[in-house]
Structure 1
C-alpha cells in the first residue's frame, strides 16, 4: 500500500502532514487542530498517531485537542521529551518502525532546536523535515550551533536525491530571494524562483519538493560548493564556516 500524503496548511504559514499507509494514519506535527480535523473528516479517516518533530508551540499546539478527539498515540523525540506534550513513545535517534511503504526512520537533526528530529520513509521516498531543512532554506539556530546544523543538513543531503522533502513552513518566497543573493548566476535557482512565484500567485504550496531540487538551489546545502565559497570570498574556508556565514547573512536579510 503506497503512502497517501496530505498537505494541510495551518496557522499563518505552517504545514502539517497526514500520512495514510499500511499501519494506519499518522500526523506529522500538529500546529492547530481545526484544519487537521477538517482534512480527516473530508476523507473519512481516523487518526492513529501524532509524530512531533520538535517542541515549538507552532508544531504542537493542536496535540491535546486531537488526542482527546481521536484517542491517538503521541510520539516525539526522546531528547525533547521534557518540553513536549505527554508522549506515549519517546523516540531515540535511529529508531525504525512500520511496515512496507510505512517503514519509518527517526533522524536526529539538531540545530533549530537541540532535539529536533526528521521522519524518513525510505521505501516511500518521503522525508518530513519541519524546521531543519526547509524549502530553499533552513531553520533559524535557536538552540544549536552552525556546526551542528551543518552536520544535520549534511545527513539529509546524503539521502537519495529523488526523496520528496516535506518541510514545515511556507517560507519559500523569501528563502529563494535570499538564495539569489548568494548565487545570482544559478540558473536552476532562477528557474525555481519563477516557479515559486507562479505557484504562490495561485495560493499553491511550495514547501514540498524533491531533494534533488534542494541540492541544486538551496544555499544552505551548497556551502561546500567551490562556486559558493568563491562568491563569499571564502574559497579556503571549512564547509561549516561557510554555512555559518550564509546563516548569519540570512538572519540579517
Structure 2
C-alpha cells in the first residue's frame, strides 16, 4: 500500500507543478521584449544590459479611465510591460471602478488571483465548475477597504462597486501572464462572430436576441444566421 500512496502523492505534486509557471533556474531573467526568439515566456536580457530600473515600476498609483460602458478599467502589470517578472510566476493589476462600475464576469486561464480592496465597497464572487458538487455554485460576498478575496485559477469571477464614489482594488496573480477571457467578449464578440443560431440554441433564446447582443460588440451578422457564410455559402 505504501508504494501506491507514495506514487499517488508524487503524481499529484507533479501535476500541480506542471500546471504552474516554470520555476526559475536563476536569480532573475529580465525579459528581452525585443528578441525575435519565441519561447514559453520571454528570452532573458543580456546580464550586462540589466539595469536597476528593470526591477522597479511606476504608475501603479495612476487611476485608469473608467469612462466606458461597464464603468471599470484594469491596468495590467504583466511581464510584457514589467519585464523583471519574467520567469517569476507573479504579476498584478490595478482595477478602478466608477460609481457602481462593474468588472464583468471573466476568468484567467493560467492563474489564481488575490484581490485586495484599497478603496470602496465591492460585491465580488466566483462560480464553481460544472463538475463541482454542487455544480456552478456562486460564492459571493460584499467586501470593503482592507478586505481580500481569492479567485481560484480558471474560475469565472466578477466585481462590482456598490458605492456612489470611485473604488480601487489591487489584484495579484500566480503567473507572469495570467491572461484574461471576458465571458461576454468571448461569446458575443469573437472575430469572426459565432453564428447566432449556435448561440441561440446554447442560451435557449431567439436568434434575434443573440443578434442584438452581438451587434453591441460590432459584429457583422447580416449573413451569419441560418448557417450561411458571408459569401453566401453554407458552413
Higher relative contact order (CA 8 A, sep 6+): 2
TM norm structure 2: 0.29
Find the structure with the greater CA-based Rg. 2
Report the structure, 1 or 2, having the larger helix content. 1
TM-score (norm 1): 0.27
